[in-house]
Amino acid sequence: MKAAKNRKVQTNKTNYMNDEAFADLKEAMDDAVAFERGASRKLKVTRIKAPRRPKPMSPRDIARLRERLNCSQAVFAMMLNISPKTVQAWEQGLREPGDAALKLLSIAKQHPEVLLNA
């Protein structure tokens, strides 16, 4: 730890922004401020909806989805790139799928061909 404190901090002037990059950044910030104030200049704005969190799935919902895909827990686990123990725990209600897994399960529910073709 002492060695780290005694070390000189070297500054490298190439890490600083050049005048052209600074001018571009300043212009972008000025445009953002103008837009927020309602005085938008030459900006094209695209609004997108924020994705919603996936709805929780019950153990029975997960089992039904797997059965609808006509596969065993092991094959379903392989399709989702998870362990068979995880699928078992979900279906027994011992564990709940996290947000990423719920998103994948909801995609599988709406578009099962995605999992079957992957």
pLDDT digits (tens, 9 = 90+) for 48-58: 888 888 889 99
Mean pLDDT on 25-30: 89
Distances (CA, A) of 75 to 7, 30, 67, 89: 56, 54, 11, 15
pLDDT at residue 60 above 90? yes
- Could you give the CA distance from residue 45 to residue 31 in angstroms, rounded to a whole number? 11
The pLDDT assigned to 111 comes to 92
pLDDT at residue 117 above 90? no
Number of domains making up the chain: 2
Residues 43, 63 share a domain:
no
pLDDT at residue 96 above 90? yes
Q: Does residue 1 fall inside a structural domain? A: no
**pLDDT band of 16, cuts 50, 70, 90:** confident
Residues 69, 107 share a domain:
yes
Residues 63, 38 share a domain:
no
Residues 67, 32 share a domain:
no
Q: Does residue 100 fall inside a structural domain? A: yes
The pLDDT assigned to 38 comes to 80
